[in-house]
Amino acid sequence: MVLRLALFFLALQTSVAATAMDTLLDVYGLALENDPNINIARLRVEGGEAGSQIARGSLLPQVTASGQWTDNQVAFDDAQGTRQNFPGERRNIQLRQMLFNWQSISASRRASRVVDQRENELLEALGQLSIDVSERYLNVLLADRNVELLQAEKTLVEEQLEEATALYERKLARITDLLETRARVDTVRTELIDAENEAALAREEITALTGTGVAALADVRESAELPPLSGDIKTWEARAVSDNALLLSKQDAIEASRMSVEEQRGGHLPTADLVLSYQEADVGFDNLQSPPREVEYIGIEVSIPLFRGGATRGRMREAWSNYYIAQEEETAVRREVLKRVRSAWLTTTAAKRRVEASKLSVESANTSYEAMRKARGLGSATSAAVLEALHNRTRAQRDYWQAVYGYLFNWLSLQREAGALDADVLQQLDVLLSQ
């Protein structure tokens, strides 16, 4: 668990060298430093480790030393009215080692399980942050792509408007062609304004996570090979059951609750301690004057609980209730995790097919647009047909990139739900987006 956490943080801290563009891991690193949920989860891990140290300390030797100096005045009730006035000193060192204390032993085991639970909760928080950052990162890429496509379409329709205007002035084009082209220019300009606004809003979403603005983001190339989806749905379900961080944290909670039951059961059992003591003193019982002496003591102290007013039985019932609650929570989370991993697998599979279909659609739209342009030059197609073909090409290209980014996001979500979102997965996606 500690190694898995260390690798996760290492992946975020060893992103690619600084460039003019921010990579996915760069944005992860910024979000990691500023996300309050991660800081809370880290502090809970530290608190759990401190609690484990406290519980383990009761199993180790306890050494205490004490000293005492007194000014004693003693009056005896006798016929002579004897009185004594003398100083006294007492020094003591004691070592106590627990031999058997089922409550302390179980408490230490419970604390260790709590640390495991907190570490898995931290992994879950890291996974959620990864998903949040990836979603917003990909949303920015898609918004920027949309702006880029609309800018290209705007350039082409403006060129076509200039051509239509020139042809109309020479009486070689109809007024309807000119008006249709002008209307399309106005529409594209409006769509571009909306797209630029959406891109700005998408960047604000990243800023809300990182606490600072980001530069141009590294994007995937058209020729880049998308990560494959291997294994069937049963394989991913099995991985989720064994590796999902949220589910593992609930299983740790069950074990911690079981140890809590054992801890309370120890309230019915005897305890035994080995005690070694050394004392130097020149006063005795009731601080009466005594010759200086040294006392060495070794013994075993046994304590047997007899009656505590029913408190021990009440604590046992409470511990059992918490144990059963932890089991029910684990069952609910298990069902939810399996549902989410199945949904993620189905969505990712469909997204992969959509990428392939969208790629064919882009090729068809490009072919159609080029054909319409040639037909327009030959006088066999109208300006409206060319504008429609251009618009269809832009929409096909936008749908393709939406499919690509959607696949990447769903693929990453599947990794997270299955508990496979580790340093290698993050670096693999970062490399894909940095090529």
Mean of all residue pLDDT scores within the chain: 87
Three-state DSSP class for residue 292: strand
CB atoms within 10 A of CB 348: 21
Q: Please tell me the distance from the alpha carbon of residue 91 to that of residue 134, in angstroms, as a whole number.
A: 66
| Residue 172 phi, psi (nearest 5) | -105, 0
- Taking only the tens place, the pLDDT of each residue in 281-295 is 888 766 677 788 888
Residue type, position 180, single letter:
E
* DSSP symbols for 350-395: HHHHHHHHHHHHHHHHHHHHHHHHHHHHTTSS-HHHHHHHHHHHHH
* 39-48, 84-93, 216-225: the lowest-pLDDT one: 216-225
Is the pLDDT score of 11 beyond 90?
A: no
Is the pLDDT score of 15 beyond 60?
A: no
CB crowding 11-31: b at 16 or more within 10 Å, else e: bbeebeeeeeebbbbbbbbbb
- Taking only the tens place, the pLDDT of each residue in 162-184 is 777 776 677 766 777 778 878 88
- Taking only the tens place, the pLDDT of each residue in 406-426 is 999 999 999 999 998 887 888
Question: Minimal CA–CA distance to 31: which of 127, 120, 119, 118?
Answer: 127
- Taking only the tens place, the pLDDT of each residue in 180-222 is 878 888 888 999 999 999 999 999 999 888 888 777 888 887 7
Residue 218 to residues 6, 67, 215, Cα–Cα distance (Å): 26, 70, 9
- Contact by Cβ (8 Å): 94, 288: no
- Pull the structure tokens for residue 3: 């190694």
The pLDDT of residue 18 is 45
Ordered domains of the chain (ranges, CATH): 2-58+102-266+313-432 (1.20.1600.10), 61-100+270-304 (2.20.200)
The pLDDT of residue 81 is 66
- Taking only the tens place, the pLDDT of each residue in 386-402 is 888 888 899 999 999 99
Match 């500023």 to its residue by tokens. Answer: 34
